[in-house]
Structure 1
Amino acid sequence: MQNDVKLIDFLRDRHSTPVAQIKEPGPSQEELEAILTLATRVPDHGKLAPWRLVVYRGDVRKKLGEEFLALLLKKTPDMEDAAKEAELVRFTRAPLVVGVISTAAPHVKIPEWEQVLSAGAVCLNMLMAANAHGYVANWRTEWVAYDDVALQLLGVKPGEKVAGFIHIGSSDFPTPDRPRPELSQIVTYAGESNA
């Protein structure tokens, strides 16, 4: 019973830490593998594993920032300095970033939409698994998830989509909760009058 109360408390207080507030240290290799293992324990109709994970850490994050900036400078050569800096640090804001890549595709029995939802479940599970290991995390996409050239730089194959980039690290930032929807605004009961 006590474990149930802890889980209820965790779910009641769950929130994402702003990426700008995430810092070192990040998970060790052993912790990362445990986080990734837990993250992939999700509903997966047909046992397709319609997703894969790409870990971005170390110097590759800095190199990606330089490539993102070069890509944007071709389109917008007069970028402000702050915007340039934002590109350079896009993947270095946290000690590591995990790309959750949806590999959803037409299937004879499993609707593609269900495969996409499974990738989203991996993203949420990864946030919770990181938290369970004492780390903070944030689920982002941003423009790099939708740009064909950026996707190539990130190792995303044609036909795949980014479900999310999960930034993982540490923080002592007291993240305030944000307003949550009232149940009366989002819940209806089938067959009952909601007047």
Structure 2
Amino acid sequence: MHRFSTMPMVIGLGMALRPDDKIPLQEQVMASAAGAMNVLNGLHLEGFGGVWVSGAYCEDRTLLTRLGVDGLAGFLFVGTPQEPDRVKRRPDVAHYMVDWNGLGDVSFPVDKRES
């Protein structure tokens, strides 16, 4: 829990999942995750640093009750980066894409490269 007290801001990613809803449970979880990722992207766009963490705290019934949520997808730890982001060289996207004609197995170029 010490980690939480060292962060400038912590955002709890609460979820209110409804297993008997017409929307499948998996879709509810994915929608929560997509919303959290949008918040994280927005923080980065505004110049903040952030990381999404989860773990045992997300299952802690006492914490969930105190926060007033049914479930947690995790937490966003937010702060201001001390150094500006270094541009990271991204791998060529062509290695991770394939045109599929609907026939046969799909094989990605990255899978064919030797490690």
Normalised by the size of structure 2, how large is the TM-score? 0.69
> Greater share of helix residues, 1 or 2?
1
Secondary structure of 1:122's match?
A: helix
Q: CA RMSD in A?
A: 2.9
Q: CA deviation at 1:167?
A: 1.1
Secondary structure of 2:5's match?
A: coil
| Cα distance per residue 1:16-51 (max 9 Å; x no partner) | xxxxxxxxxxxxxxxxxxxxxxxxxxxxxxxxxxxx
2:102 counterpart of 1:191: yes
Give 2:112's aligned residue: none
Aligned residues: 102
Give 2:64's aligned residue: 151
Alignment of 1:1-195 (within 5 A): 87=1, 89-105=2-18, 106-107=20-21, 109-153=22-66, 155-157=67-69, 160-173=70-83, 183=96, 189=100, 191-193=102-104, 194=106
Q: CA deviation at 1:129?
A: 0.7
After superposition, the Cα gap between the structure-2 partners of 1:120 and 1:190, relative to the gap in structure 1 and judged at 3 Å, is farther
Runs of 4+ in 1 over 2 A off after TM superposition: 147-153, 173-177, 179-182, 187-190, 192-195
Q: Residue type of the partner of 1:136?
A: G
Secondary structure of 1:91's match?
A: helix
8 Å CA contact 1:94, 1:169 repeated in 2: yes
In structure 1, the gaps of 5 or more residues are: 1-86
Q: CA deviation at 1:130?
A: 0.6
8 Å CA contact 1:137, 1:168 repeated in 2: yes
Secondary structure of 2:44's match?
A: helix
Q: CA deviation at 1:148?
A: 2.2
